[in-house]
A = this chain, B = another copy of it.
């Protein structure tokens, strides 16, 4: 029996555990913040001191993380005792958006024209370099649409908070849609892709995602996207699931960002694919053979944001799988997701009206 260590106490860690346990994998958790999703597994909050981390790593076959943003010394300490996937080098790129962009630039992968500014005073030059309109993003700490500012002209720069520095500046693009690719790389370098995900964001937050069963994303776009993931994963000696969000433009696809972990746009794989992103991440991290990523059925996943709608009504819907993360309700918070299998127009409409 193998033992997997999971760093992080949110829904991603929980779904990893729910996939790992049937494989006969014992899970152990290091939970660095007050997050309820893993309490079902007996996980307790950790102060992340040396003794706790040593207890956590004792006898692990491997460790993984659902979060990139905790103190990197924790990753280093875990690495002293157990293999950690993704490696700290890959996680490090996500601590600073400038490093992520630099890495993509070094690999020659397509992305929006970009520049960087270390302090607020550097923003006018950085924006001018990229051209207007552009988008300024905090290099650290922004997610789900937070820490981003649209800049139509130099006059807009003053309103950007100085304490958000450092920044990246990214050119506005000829936006024609977006999609993401989720892939897994195994211990032997085997890479498998799930069907591309079509994503709908609202106010920067993913609200709906589904496998592209109708070929909305062209074969050329998918091929170029898969090339990007292969290049990126190989550059990082990657093991596990990695997701990349792409913009579709008139001049081809551009990388918005990558996530070195299981990703919200892959939640549909639980019901929609032969092997879910969670199970394949567990398999990869533990050096087990990968499972098939083939599509099982058309599905659509919606995030549940802030508050639960009438749960009885949700549970009564045929073919709807409910994933409640066990979190307290709070405006805008991702507290669950629901996945509809073999969706038809009537079911989609009634579900979207329920979800608001």
Question: Chain B contacts of A283 at CB under 8 A?
Answer: 315
Contact B315 A24 (CB under 8 A): no
- A291 at the B interface (CB under 8 A): yes
Q: Which residue in chain B gives the minimum CB-CB distance to A316? A: B289
Contact B315 A292 (CB under 8 A): no
Chain A 39-66 interface mask (CB, 8 Å, partner B; 1/0): 1111000000000000000000000000
- Known: A274-B318, A289-B316, A291-B315. Contact between A40 and B23, CB under 8 A? no
Q: Which residue in chain B gives the minimum CB-CB distance to A28? A: B40
How many identical chains are in the complex? 2
Chain A, interface residues (CB within 8 Å), range:
35 or more
Q: Which residue in chain B gives the minimum CB-CB distance to A292? A: B318
- Known: A41-B40, A41-B41, A274-B319. Contact between A24 and B289, CB under 8 A? no
User: With the chains together, A289 CA to B22 CA distance in Å?
Assistant: 26
Interface stretch (choices A93-101, A212-220, A320-328) = A320-328
- A288 at the B interface (CB under 8 A): yes
Question: Chain B contacts of A288 at CB under 8 A?
Answer: 311-312, 315
Question: Chain B contacts of A336 at CB under 8 A?
Answer: 24
User: With the chains together, A18 CA to B321 CA distance in Å?
Assistant: 13
- A341 at the B interface (CB under 8 A): yes
Question: Chain B contacts of A242 at CB under 8 A?
Answer: none
- Known: A22-B18, A26-B326, A321-B22. Contact between A41 and B39, CB under 8 A? no
What's the nearest-Cβ distance from chain B to residue A51, in Å?
A: 20
Question: Chain B contacts of A23 at CB under 8 A?
Answer: 315, 322, 324
Question: Chain B contacts of A296 at CB under 8 A?
Answer: 296-297, 341
Question: Chain B contacts of A162 at CB under 8 A?
Answer: none
Interface positions, chain A 287-311, Cβ under 8 Å from B, are 288-289, 291-292, 294, 296-297, 311
- A21 at the B interface (CB under 8 A): yes
Chain A 48-90 interface mask (CB, 8 Å, partner B; 1/0): 0000000000000000000000000000000000000000000
Contact A40 B22 (CB under 8 A): no
- Known: A274-B319, A289-B315, A297-B296. Contact between A21 and B40, CB under 8 A? yes
Q: Which residue in chain B gives the minimum CB-CB distance to A37? A: B21
Top 9 A-B residue pairs of the complex, sorted by shortest distance between their CB atoms: A42-B42, A24-B324, A289-B316, A289-B315, A292-B318, A22-B323, A21-B40, A288-B315, A274-B319
Pairs A–B under 8 Å by Cβ, sample size 25: A1-B326, A14-B21, A18-B18, A18-B22, A21-B40, A22-B322, A22-B323, A22-B324, A23-B322, A23-B324, A24-B322, A24-B324, A24-B325, A24-B326, A24-B336, A26-B40, A42-B42, A274-B318, A274-B319, A274-B341, A288-B312, A289-B312, A291-B318, A292-B318, A294-B318
Write the residues of chain A forming the contact surface with B, with a CB cutoff of 8 angstroms.
1, 14, 17-18, 21-24, 26-27, 39-42, 274, 283, 288-289, 291-292, 294, 296-297, 311-312, 315-316, 318-319, 321-326, 336, 341
